[in-house]
Chain A
Amino acid sequence: MPGAISMTDVINAQTVGDLRDEGDELLIDLIDLFFGETPARLRVLTTALAAGDREQVERSAHTLKSTAATFGAETMRAVAAEAEMAARAGRLESVAQLLPTLHREAEQVREALAGVRAELAS
């Protein structure tokens, strides 16, 4: 049984614990994916928003929503879901308003996962 990981309320302890129960390798891979994928996906979203590319905005928000759900990051997931729905409805100005919050939430999740990653590596 792996030792307990200290957790913040930004990510869900049960969700992350379940992933760890499958082995540290899986959780480490997923955290590393988050580090690589999320900044890239946020850049794509920002660029698509500037270009008025509604479909790409919706797709990127959808992916960020799924990413957040992987770790039970409920606030980030909810913001991304709201952005996805707004994009689907063609309300790109609403997505633009949500973007700073999405960046902020993603950064908080990154920090929380960095803490988990450090404990796994130690």
Chain B
Amino acid sequence: MAVRTLIIDDSPFARRVIRHHLTKAGCKVVGEAESAAQALRMFHELKPELITLDIMMPEVEGVDSLRALREMRAVLPELTAIVVSAVPFDKIRDSYLKEGAFAYIVKPFTQYSFEPVRQKLLRVFRQSAA
């Protein structure tokens, strides 16, 4: 599958865990950003097919996660975005799903966190490769 992936999270620990699980799921991590502003710059350069986006990152350079997601999807509407959050609130989850997010994972991660996403990714990217 080797889906080109950009991980966006201010925690290096979260980035390491996400990289582990997505690599296991067949993704190729092409970059890691520690803020939404850095992610926007890397997005234009790396052109990933998939991003994971921590939505609880403090705003940097006037860019927050929601703005970054909107800007990326404006450039690339087919971008697949997995939202990662420490806030398990339906309202927040629903607002990101309305923005086109593909899945929503709640921190802290458990051994089961990535399994539904892995299966969903396999379905979507196998279909698009077919």
Tell whether A pairs with B.
Answer: yes
On whether the beta carbons of A30 and B16 are closer than 8 Å, the reply is yes
* A18 & B110 in contact (Cβ 8 Å cutoff): yes
Q: Contacts A21-B111, A22-B111; is A66 near B58 (CB within 8 Å)?
A: no
A33 contacts which chain B residues (CB < 8 A)? 12-13, 16
Interface size counted on chain A using CB atoms at 8 A:
21
- The answer to whether A30 touches B111, judged by C-beta atoms less than 8 angstroms apart, is no
* Docked-complex contact A59 and B58, CB < 8 angstroms: yes
Main secondary structure of the interface of A (DSSP, over half): helix
Known: A55-B58, A62-B10, A62-B58. A70 touches B20 (CB 8 A): no
Contact indicator B13/A70 (Cβ below 8 Å): yes
* B108: interface (CB < 8 Å): yes
Write the nearest CB–CB distance from B110 to chain A, whole angstroms. Answer: 6
Name the residue of chain A whose CB is nearest to the CB of B113. A18
Contact, CB under 8 Å: A66 / B16: no
How far does the alpha carbon of A29 sit from the alpha carbon of B17 in the complex, in Å? 10
**Contact partner, A26, options B12, B16, B86, B110, Cβ 8 Å:** B16
User: Out of B16, B86, B110, which one reaches A29, CB within 8 Å?
Assistant: B16
Q: Report yes or no: A26 in contact with B17, Cβ–Cβ below 8 A.
A: yes
Provide the residues of chain A in CB contact with B63, threshold 8 Å. none
Q: Do residues B16 and A69 form an inter-chain contact, with CB atoms below 8 A?
A: no
Contact B17 A70 (CB under 8 A): yes
Contact residues in A for B95 (Cβ distance below 8 Å): none
Chain A residues 70 to 112 lying within 8 A of chain B, measured CB to CB, are 70, 72
Nearest CB to that of B57 among chain A residues? A62
Chain A residues lying within 8 Å of B16, measured Cβ to Cβ, are: 26, 29-30, 33
**CB <8 Å contact, B11 and A63:** yes
The 5 closest A-B pairs by CB, nearest first: A66-B11, A70-B13, A18-B111, A69-B108, A59-B58
Enumerate 17 A-B pairs (CB-CB under 8 Å) in ascending A order. A18-B111, A21-B111, A22-B20, A22-B111, A26-B16, A30-B13, A37-B13, A59-B10, A59-B58, A62-B56, A63-B10, A63-B11, A69-B86, A69-B107, A70-B11, A70-B13, A70-B108
| A positions within 8 Å CB-CB of B | 15, 18-19, 21-22, 26, 29-30, 33-34, 37, 55, 58-59, 62-63, 66-67, 69-70, 72
